[in-house]
DNA sequence: GGAACGATTGAT
DNA sequence: TCAATCGTTCCT
């Protein structure tokens, strides 16, 4: 099963190469779906990463799992964020999903978020997790299944199933994202909310998109 | 044991 | 600009 993940996207590479390829892919979870427009790369070799210094704790254990694993963490005493593990098992690399365009189950998202404005439902890592109802217990599970290739198929899974990522060209097109993306459509910049390794341009996003957590300047 | 600090968000 | 809020990290 794990070997077939490579048929989908080659996740066994550095996060700064995987992150831009996740743009335009759809995350589907518990009756909702959204198209990814912003993501950041983190690697154990730089101090902004939770895996820096090979710190393997209860919190970070899934960050060292096989590529495709979901890493969910709690922060600021109240928020949860989700990552996709990349690289080799035990490496500690991941891509933080930061923003997406709501695609399916918008009413559910509004209910979960307690907010109405479409623009703010999935624009931010903790907002995205809340809108999709991603849970702590989803950590450690794979976010890829080669048998599930479309948003519709992902939505047909067991309602209790956690987040899964698909590359659905039609779904992306329905919210104005044409795949494959051209290089010029991918913006890069400094990662948000960190105080170390701030110079790395490892934030990736859909250029000019109104759906990112912050504009790329 | 204790202090400081978050890969954030929403209100002022 | 600032408070909320609590697990993790790091120091004593």
Residue nearest to nucleotide C6 (CA to C1'): A77
- pLDDT reported for residue A5: 56
Question: What phi, psi does A186 have (nearest 5°)?
Answer: -100, 115
pLDDT value at A27 more than 60: yes
Q: What is the rounded distance in angstroms from the CA atom of residue A9 to the CA atom of residue A74? A: 27
- pLDDT reported for residue A173: 98
Specify burial of residue A150 (Cβ count, 10 A radius: 0-12, 13-18, 19+). Answer: middle
Q: How far is the CA of A6 from the C1' of C1 (A)?
A: 46
Q: How far is the CA of A194 from the C1' of B2 (A)?
A: 25
Nearest nucleic acid nucleotide to A40, CA to C1' distance:
B7
Q: Is the CB of A69 under 7 A from strand B?
A: no
Q: Is the CB of A75 under 7 A from strand B?
A: yes
Q: Which nucleotides of C are covered by protein (CB under 7 A)?
A: 4-10
pTM for the complete prediction?
0.96
| Structure-token pair, residue A192 | 């948000």
Q: What is the rounded distance in angstroms from the CA atom of residue A181 to the CA atom of residue A162? A: 27
Q: How many CB atoms lie within 10 A of CB A161?
A: 17
pLDDT value at A1 more than 80: no
Average pLDDT of the segment spanning A56-63: 96
Q: What is the rounded distance in angstroms from the CA atom of residue A172 to the CA atom of residue A180? A: 10
Residue A71 CB contacts under 8 Å (≥ 6 apart), including other chains: A60, A62, A63, A65, A82, A83, A84, A85, A94, A139
| Structure-token pair, residue A51 | 């895996």
Average pLDDT of the segment spanning A163-169: 96
A75-98: pLDDT as tens digits: 999 999 999 999 999 999 999 999
Residues (64-103, chain A) with CB within 7 Å of strand C atoms = 74, 76-78
pLDDT value at A2 more than 60: no
Q: What is the rounded distance in angstroms from the CA atom of residue A159 to the CA atom of residue A14? A: 32
Calculate the average pLDDT of chain A: 95
Average pLDDT of the segment spanning A106-127: 98
A179-211: pLDDT as tens digits: 999 999 999 999 999 999 999 999 999 999 999
Q: Which nucleotides of B are covered by protein (CB under 7 A)?
A: 5-10
Q: Is the CB of A50 under 7 A from strand C?
A: yes
Residues (133-172, chain A) with CB within 7 Å of strand B atoms = none
Nearest nucleic acid nucleotide to A60, CA to C1' distance:
C8
- pLDDT reported for residue A9: 85
């Amino acid at each position: 099963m794990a070997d077939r993940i490579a048929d989908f996207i080659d996740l066994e590479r550095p996060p700064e190469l995987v992150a831009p390829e996740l743009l335009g892919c759809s995350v589907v979870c518990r009756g909702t779906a959204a198209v990814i427009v912003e993501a950041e790369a983190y690697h154990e070799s730089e101090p902004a990463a939770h895996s820096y210094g090979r710190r393997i704790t209860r919190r970070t254990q899934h960050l060292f799992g096989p590529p495709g694993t979901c890493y969910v963490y709690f922060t600021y005493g109240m928020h949860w964020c989700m990552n996709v593990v990349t690289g080799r098992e035990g490496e500690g690399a991941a891509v933080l999903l930061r923003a997406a365009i709501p695609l399916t189950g918008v009413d559910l998202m509004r209910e979960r978020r307690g907010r109405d404005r479409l623009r703010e439902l999935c624009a931010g890592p903790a907002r995205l997790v809340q809108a999709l109802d991603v849970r702590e217990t989803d950590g450690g599970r794979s976010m890829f299944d080669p048998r599930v290739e479309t948003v519709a198929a992902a939505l047909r899974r067991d309602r209790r199933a956690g987040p899964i990522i698909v590359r659905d060209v039609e779904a992306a097109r329905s919210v104005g994202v044409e795949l494959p993306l051209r290089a010029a459509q991918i913006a890069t910049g400094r990662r948000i909310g960190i105080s170390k390794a701030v110079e790395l341009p490892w934030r990736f996003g859909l250029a000019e998109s109104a759906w990112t957590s912050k504009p790329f300047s």
